[in-house]
A and B are shown apart, each in its own frame.
Chain A
Amino acid sequence: MSEPSPVLAQAAALRHAFDRARAIPISSEAVEQIENLLAIRLSGDAFAIRLSEISGLATDQKIVAFPSPIPELLGIAGIRGRLVPVYSLAALLGYSANADHGRWLALCGAEEPVGFAINDFEGYLRVPVGDIYVAEKRDVLSTHVSHLVRTSDTVRAVISIPLLVEIIQRRCCDAGDSKER
């Protein structure tokens, strides 16, 4: 009798994993000890974003350029029936403003959503909370990074989206005040 082909074996493994996942009861404790992250890459450097800090992920959205004193603002895009300002995440982290801002958008905030353009989306990460640790000052290049996450192949800086939103809001206020003056 001939051996089963690798493809059929892989299909069987997938089926088994799916059935097993459906068969295991839901454990809230286990869920809470897992952190969901989005693995991204900005100008070639590996980063991660907490899934809990964003409100959605979109792709291939048309961004209309918008005049602004903030150079990191790429423009505005229409997402889910709302106008969302889109900033270059790479530019906010100090990379060159002329770099390609990519086709991915990470949305955050429900009342006043803000979009961050991402160069490259690498995948979805589910890591134990224990693998995330606080970054030391000498290990990071930007003030927007507070933690690091260790994955199987590399160490990624975890970008703090709320911190970025706060900085943007502060700069918008500063720009508005200077305009009023």
Chain B
Amino acid sequence: MWTFGRRIVAGFLIPCLLLLGIGVVAYRSIGSLTSTNELVAHTNEVLDHLFQVRSLLKDGEIGQRGYIITGDEAFLAPYREGTGAVAAAFKDLRQVTAGNASYQPRLDQMQPLITAKLAELAQTIELRRKGNGEEVLKIVREGEGKRLMDELRALVGQLEQEERAQLKVRTDDVAASANVASSTIIFGTAFCLLFVVATAFLITRSLSGQIGSAVRHVQSSSAELQSAASQQASGAKESSTAMNEINTTISELQATSRQIAESAQRVAHVAEETSSAARAGDQTVQKTHESVSGIKRQVDLIVTHMLDLGKKSQQIGGILEIINELAEQTNILAINATIEAAGAGDAGKRFSIVADEIRKLADRVAGSTKEIRALIEEIRSAVNTTVMATEGGSKAVDLGARQFVEVTAALKKITELLGTTTQAAREIELSTKQQSTAVEQVNVAVSQVAKASQETELSANQTMQTAGQLAGLSRDLMRLVQANAHA
């Protein structure tokens, strides 16, 4: 990830490098152009010197011809200027071309030719001055002067041609260097401008997007911070209110703790009294348990007797069955005797009466046995009821005895529990006192918390203000960023 600094540095460094490259190229092109210009100037200087040498020689030849033809000394003025300056001009030419090794042989060739030409001119002029026109014509006709002049012209022409060729090459080099320099400057500047514009656009766009996003985040964060600070402030206010309520409750709790401690003291006292009462009750229960055991033994004896009575009743019932059977047999015998007596006629009438009496007795015996059976059934039923009731009583006594045991155990348990209760009540009293102390400490802590809540509320309000200022700053920054983006 490229930071803003990196991007900006890169955005400026690359155009600087490009400008540096363009400057280097331009500098080198200008240097090349300057050196090429110097060479061109040198070539022109060489050409000037060549032209001057040839021109001076031509001036000498022109003055020679005018003088030879006219004999007028006035025509010798060009001769005198030309021949007087040609040596210096040749010397300058030799100096100018001293760095060019290829010139020197031809200059060496030109040196004797110039000397010879100057000598031929001086000879002809002298001859003319002396009036030896014929001899002058002879020398001219021989063409030595013309040959020397032609050779000099040829050599100067060669040198001029070479210089002009070099001049053309150098002129082309100058033009090429100028083209390279101008192209580099134009295209490099244009590319650099384009790069700078593109870089500026990209950096602006990127920075606008990222800074805008960051600013929006800052805006939303500041809004959330404002909301959170508001909630924190309201929460701190509620907390402060709750702390006040807690403070009140704790005060009530303290009062209640004191009451609990007093109640625990009373409970311990009552538990001790109850414990002594339970011990007395335990002794009473022990005595009652012994009495119940005696009742249980008596009831068991009653049950045994009643069961014996039931068995006896059953035995009486069996005997009654025998009596009933005997009565029935007697009745049958009496009926049969009556029948037999009836069959015996008058002799059996008295026997019939006796048999009838026997039958009546049997009937009465049967009736009495029925009554006795009914009575025995009632006795048996009563015995059964009594036995069941007695067994129920015995069971109840058993249950009572067991319950007495349980009551004894329960009383012992109650005594133990009362001891535990007394101890617990004392512990409660102690704990309640400790609790009261702790509650006082809690009260102090709650007061401090309430103070802290108020401070938190103030801090939250400050945070809210700061968040509001941050939101305003982010809005301003957003406006700036958006203005830049639009711009």
Residues on A facing B (Cβ under 8 Å):
10, 14, 18, 21-22, 26, 28, 31, 36, 38, 51-52, 54-59, 123-124, 126
Given A14-B364, A18-B361: A51 touches B342 (CB 8 Å cut-off): yes
Given the complex, which residues of A lie within 8 Å of B359, measured CB to CB? 124
Q: Give Cα A55–Cα B340 distance, bound, in whole angstroms.
A: 8
**A58 and B332 within 8 A (CB):** yes
B210 to chain A, nearest CB (A): 119
Give 1 or 0 for each of B324-342: 1 = CB within 8 Å of chain A CB. 0000100110011011001
The reply to whether B349 and A57 form a contact with Cβ atoms under 8 Å apart is no
Centre residue among B331, B338, B339, B342 by max chain A CB count within 10 A: B339
A38: B residues at CB distance < 8 A: 335
17 contacts between A and B (CB under 8 A): A10-B368, A14-B361, A21-B353, A21-B357, A21-B360, A22-B357, A26-B349, A28-B349, A31-B349, A51-B342, A52-B342, A56-B336, A57-B335, A58-B332, A123-B363, A124-B363, A126-B356
User: Given A18-B361, A21-B357, A124-B359: A51 and B349 within 8 A (CB)?
Assistant: no
The answer, yes or no, to whether B130 is at the interface (CB within 8 Å) is no
B350 at the interface (CB under 8 A from A): yes
Q: How far is the CA of A58 from the CA of B332 in the complex (A)?
A: 7
In the bound assembly, the distance between CA atoms of A14 and B364 in angstroms comes to: 8
> Is there an interface contact between A26 and B339, defined as CB atoms closer than 8 Å?
no
Distance of A81 from chain B, by nearest CB (Å): 15
Please provide the chain B residues from 350 to 398 with a CB less than 8 Å away from any CB of chain A in the complex. Answer: 350, 352-353, 356-357, 359-361, 363-364, 368
Residue of chain A at shortest CB distance from B334: A124
A14 to B368, alpha carbons, bound, how many Å?
11
Q: Which of A14, A18, A57, A126 contacts B336 (CB 8 A)?
A: A57
Q: Residue on B with the closest CB to A36?
A: B338
Specify which of A28, A31, A58 lies most central, judged by the most chain B CB atoms within 10 Å of its CB: A31
A59 to B361 alpha-carbon distance, docked (Å): 19
- In Å, the complex CA distance between A62 and B338 comes to 24
Residues of chain A lying within 8 A (CB to CB) of residue B343: 55
Which residues of chain B are within 8 angstroms of A22 by Cβ–Cβ distance?
357
Closest Cβ–Cβ distance, residue B166 to chain A (whole Å): 172
Q: Give the chain A neighbours of B363 by CB distance below 8 A.
A: 123-124
Pick the contact of A59: B328, B342, B360, B364 (CB < 8 A).
B328
The reply to whether B328 and A26 contact each other, CB–CB distance below 8 Å, is no
Determine the main DSSP class of B at the interface with A: helix
Q: Produce 1/0 per residue, B186-230, CB < 8 A to A.
A: 000000000000000000000000000000000000000000000
Task: Give Cα A54–Cα B336 distance, bound, in whole angstroms.
Answer: 9
B169 to chain A, nearest CB (A): 167
Q: Which of B331, B339, B350, B353 contacts A56 (CB 8 A)?
A: B339
Q: A58 CA to B335 CA in the complex, in Å?
A: 10
Partner of B335, one of A18, A52, A124: A124
Distance between B347 CB and nearest chain A CB, rounded to angstroms: 12
User: In the complex, are the beta carbons of B349 and A59 less than 8 A apart?
Assistant: no
CB distance from B337 to the nearest CB of A (A): 10
Q: With A56-B339, A59-B332 given, can you name 12 additional A-B contacts, CB distance below 8 Å?
A: A10-B368, A14-B361, A21-B353, A28-B346, A28-B349, A31-B349, A51-B335, A51-B342, A55-B339, A57-B335, A58-B332, A126-B356
A57 and B332 alpha carbons, distance in the complex (Å): 6
CA distance A72 to B135 in the complex (A): 225
Q: Which of A26, A31, A55, A57 has the most CB of B within 10 A?
A: A57
Give CA–CA (A57, B330) in the complex, Å. 12
A51–B339 CB distance below 8 A: yes
CA gap between A31 and B356 in the complex, in Å: 12
**Which chain A residue has the least Cβ–Cβ distance from B354?**
A22
Q: Bound complex: CA of A18 vs CA of B354, how far in Å? A: 10
Give the Cβ gap from A38 to chain B, nearest Cβ, in Å.
Answer: 7
Nearest A residue to B343 by beta-carbon distance? A55
- B335 — which chain A residues lie within 8 A by C-beta? 38, 51, 57, 124
Q: Cβ of A10: which chain B residues have Cβ within 8 Å of it?
A: 368
Contact residues in A for B339 (Cβ distance below 8 Å): 51, 54-57
Contacts of A56 in B (CB 8 A): 336, 339
- Please measure, in the bound complex, the distance between the C-alpha atom of A123 and the C-alpha atom of B335, giving whole angstroms: 10
Residue of A nearest to B329 (CB): A59
CB distance from B126 to the nearest CB of A (A): 213
Quote the shortest CB–CB distance from B324 to chain A (angstroms). Answer: 13
B332 to chain A, nearest CB (A): 5
Which residues of A sit under 8 angstroms from B346, Cβ to Cβ? 28
| Contacting residues, chain A, for B368 (C-beta < 8 A) | 10
Query: Looking across the interface, which residue of chain B has its beta carbon closest to that of A55?
Result: B339
Q: How far is the CB of A103 from chain B (nearest CB, A)?
A: 11
Question: What residue of chain B has the Cβ atom nearest to residue A11's Cβ?
Answer: B368
Inter-chain CA distance A14–B365, complex, in Å, is 10
Closest to B352 in A: A31
CA distance A18 to B339 in the complex (A): 21
**Distance, CA A52 to CA B349, complexed state (A):** 13
B366–chain A nearest beta-carbon distance, Å: 9
Query: Of residues B335, B336, B361, which shows the largest number of chain A Cβ atoms within 10 Å of its Cβ?
Result: B335
> How far apart sit A54 and B359, CA to CA, in the bound complex (Å)?
17
Measured CB to CB, the closest approach of chain A to B71, in angstroms, equals 215
Interface mask (B449-465 → A, CB under 8 Å = 1, otherwise 0): 00000000000000000
Closest Cβ of chain B: how far from A114's Cβ, in Å? 15
Report A50 CB to chain B, min CB distance, Å: 10
